[in-house]
Chain A
């Protein structure tokens, strides 16, 4: 029984991280109509920055309890990178065919992957001090890291916050208006360029936060971004590109299938995920909750 609880918690942990990545990807697609192939790499950059910051802070003797505050700092740094990337690389492509947008983000992926290697080297970067600082929890006869439960909490909080922002604030109205009809929004006097920068920055922030909260339990390694991107793709394809609800439900489905897969059918665990994605695309091309 306690094993089951642990596995459910593990699934929720994965789901939180995946939701953060996939919701960012989905938001960027919803508003800007760009499928950002570099999104996974931005997640990895967040992980690397967080691990690097934690290492620095420990070196300077910052008390462990404060280290958690570095996570949003890392996410903000990724958002800043996004603010630079959008006008520089993406803006010239909105009027051009989708193929070029995919290619330019693929080029960005290659660049980011190597920049990470250039800056942080090929060795994994860890921040497990943060994880060790939070006491473990006893579930029946199992011991479970308290940090993972905290991550689930962060995931839930992020989801609620995102909902409030998108469906309850003026900024959210601007985002939704732009995503529904860019030209109409522009005609009504909305500064679409600024909305795009903001949407891309928010998406990057979420990817960065996902990376930052995952790094205390999994080290930051090269290639983690490419892997994460594919899982995030499965999530948004299942849930529907551009849909927040879809990102949430998709993240839960993928995480639970994955946890069950690792337990019961480890060889075809990944293949099953891709097959689910392909299956949903065949039955419902727009995903479970997509509209576009």
Chain B
């Protein structure tokens, strides 16, 4: 009798991430039916940022490396879309993804190869320095990149041109369709990252994070694992950039500038980087907080900065970490 009482909650603990995920997706599917167009658009931004933050968390949460240069891969994705449209007239979203992903992957492999030779603070500074190389190129080569004006990105066609948004009412149709498109990509990405972090590869990353020396003794090639994590991380963040450009309609050097890297780190921390779902909550929450802060006050950076400082000071495990602590306190049975 007693054994059953203990076994039952354990069963729940192992299952709850799947239940929560299914519930979350169900809610996300129904949201556009309930809320207006603007909220749907905001949520799309949120989901895109969630992908970027999930990507960053592969490095920060699971490998223990803080990158302050992820704006580089996000920006690469966004600019690749703009260039594909400008130079080749490509309008298909699938082609953007298919051609943009290798670009993000190659550059993150290149940058990562250099960066993973270092850890801790030097890793952070090196990622930052390399991302700023791309930023200064985007800023200075204005005849290619449009300089500070950036490049326009038209609404793409979805599903190999089946869904086009020409004609009247195109904008509202685009917002709703694009929301579901992004949601689909988001679910796929989340599933892939879930599999990655629960695979032997992901466990190896966590072992390296927790104790590099022991991981080395176990025969893990630490640098190679970190490099692979960097490559994956940069590629997922690049995918977020690819999805972001058509929604924003414009890509500027701001998304390559290093404070944007700081924002991606901020989102991850806001949700909680010690929890798999933390970056998702963080990406969505950050998008809404920032949008409302910008709308309600001219001094939104002040507000965000204060939130960040208070968060780091009082709630270092983020929203999800804080909630799960409360949940554990309310349900003492599950702790045993």
List B residues 53-85 near A (Cβ within 8 Å).
Answer: 60, 66, 68
For B112-126 the 0/1 string (1 means CB < 8 A from A) is: 001001101110111
Partner of A278, one of B121, B129, B269, B309: B129
List B residues 135-159 near A (Cβ within 8 Å).
Answer: 136-137, 139-141
Band of interface residues on A: 35 or more
User: Are A230 and B132 closer than 8 Å at their CB atoms?
Assistant: yes
B259 on the A face (CB < 8 A): yes
CB distance from B218 to the nearest CB of A (A): 23
Partner of A267, one of B141, B258, B302: B141
Which residue among B129, B259, B262, B307 has the maximum number of chain A CB atoms within 10 Å of its CB? B129
Tell me the complex Cα distance, A35–B114, Å: 21
Tell me the complex Cα distance, A237–B117, Å: 15
Tell me the complex Cα distance, A233–B137, Å: 18
A271 on the B face (CB < 8 A): yes
User: Are B312 and A270 closer than 8 Å at their CB atoms?
Assistant: no
Do A99 and B60 contact each other (CB < 8 Å), given the known contacts A234-B129, A268-B140, A281-B125? Answer: yes
Do A102 and B124 contact each other (CB < 8 Å), given the known contacts A108-B305, A110-B304, A114-B302? Answer: yes
User: Are A106 and B133 closer than 8 Å at their CB atoms?
Assistant: no
User: Are A115 and B302 closer than 8 Å at their CB atoms?
Assistant: yes
- Name the CB-closest residue of B to A111: B305
Name the A residues within 8 Å of B132 (CB-CB).
Answer: 230, 270, 274
A151 on the B face (CB < 8 A): no
B9 on the A face (CB < 8 A): no
User: Are A98 and B259 closer than 8 Å at their CB atoms?
Assistant: no
User: Are A268 and B137 closer than 8 Å at their CB atoms?
Assistant: yes
User: Are A281 and B122 closer than 8 Å at their CB atoms?
Assistant: yes
A275 on the B face (CB < 8 A): yes
User: Are A233 and B128 closer than 8 Å at their CB atoms?
Assistant: yes
CB distance from B130 to the nearest CB of A (A): 6
Name the A residues within 8 Å of B68 (CB-CB).
Answer: 102
Tell me the complex Cα distance, A115–B309, Å: 15
Tell me the complex Cα distance, A171–B212, Å: 38
A89 on the B face (CB < 8 A): yes
B313 on the A face (CB < 8 A): yes
- Name the CB-closest residue of A to B306: A111
B52 on the A face (CB < 8 A): no
CB distance from A64 to the nearest CB of B (A): 35
Do A230 and B140 contact each other (CB < 8 Å), given the known contacts A102-B124, A107-B306, A281-B122? Answer: no
User: Are A100 and B316 closer than 8 Å at their CB atoms?
Assistant: yes
User: Are B129 and A104 closer than 8 Å at their CB atoms?
Assistant: no
Tell me the complex Cα distance, A109–B301, Å: 9
Tell me the complex Cα distance, A115–B124, Å: 27
User: Are B60 and A285 closer than 8 Å at their CB atoms?
Assistant: no
CB distance from B304 to the nearest CB of A (A): 6
List A residues 262-280 near B (Cβ within 8 Å).
Answer: 266-271, 274-275, 277-278
Tell me the complex Cα distance, A266–B265, Å: 32
Chain A contact residues: over half helix, strand or loop, or mixed?
A: helix
Tell me the complex Cα distance, A62–B153, Å: 55
Partner of A271, one of B137, B309, B312: B137
User: Are A92 and B313 closer than 8 Å at their CB atoms?
Assistant: yes
Name the B residues within 8 Å of A106 (CB-CB).
Answer: 262, 265-266, 308
Do A274 and B129 contact each other (CB < 8 Å), given the known contacts A98-B120, A102-B124, A111-B301? Answer: yes
Tell me the complex Cα distance, A274–B243, Å: 28
CB distance from B308 to the nearest CB of A (A): 3
Tell me the complex Cα distance, A96–B313, Å: 11
Tell me the complex Cα distance, A221–B243, Å: 34
Which residue among A89, A234, A278 has the maximum number of chain B CB atoms within 10 Å of its CB? A278
User: Are B133 and A275 closer than 8 Å at their CB atoms?
Assistant: yes
Name the A residues within 8 Å of B302 (CB-CB).
Answer: 110-111, 114-115, 118
Name the A residues within 8 Å of B60 (CB-CB).
Answer: 99
A282 on the B face (CB < 8 A): yes
Partner of B309, one of A104, A275, A281: A104
A117 on the B face (CB < 8 A): yes
Tell me the complex Cα distance, A277–B118, Å: 14
B299 on the A face (CB < 8 A): yes
Name the B residues within 8 Å of A270 (CB-CB).
Answer: 132, 136, 139-140
Name the A residues within 8 Å of B136 (CB-CB).
Answer: 268-271, 274
Tell me the complex Cα distance, A237–B118, Å: 13
A226 on the B face (CB < 8 A): yes
CB distance from A226 to the nearest CB of B (A): 7
User: Are B309 and A111 closer than 8 Å at their CB atoms?
Assistant: yes
Partner of B305, one of A100, A114, A226: A114
A-B interface, 9 closest residue pairs, ranked by CB to CB distance from nearest: A110-B305, A270-B136, A107-B308, A111-B305, A114-B302, A107-B309, A114-B301, A274-B133, A110-B301
Chain A to chain B contacts (Cβ below 8 Å), 13 pairs: A102-B66, A102-B124, A104-B309, A106-B262, A107-B305, A107-B312, A110-B301, A112-B305, A113-B305, A233-B129, A267-B140, A274-B130, A285-B118
B contact residues vs A (CB 8 Å cutoff): 60, 66, 68, 114, 117-118, 120-122, 124-126, 128-130, 132-133, 136-137, 139-141, 258-259, 262, 265-266, 269, 298-302, 304-309, 312-313, 316
**Interface contacts beyond A93-B312, A100-B312, A266-B140: sample of 15 additional A-B pairs, CB < 8 Å, sorted by A:** A100-B316, A102-B66, A104-B308, A106-B262, A111-B306, A113-B301, A113-B305, A114-B305, A118-B302, A230-B132, A233-B129, A267-B140, A278-B114, A282-B114, A282-B117
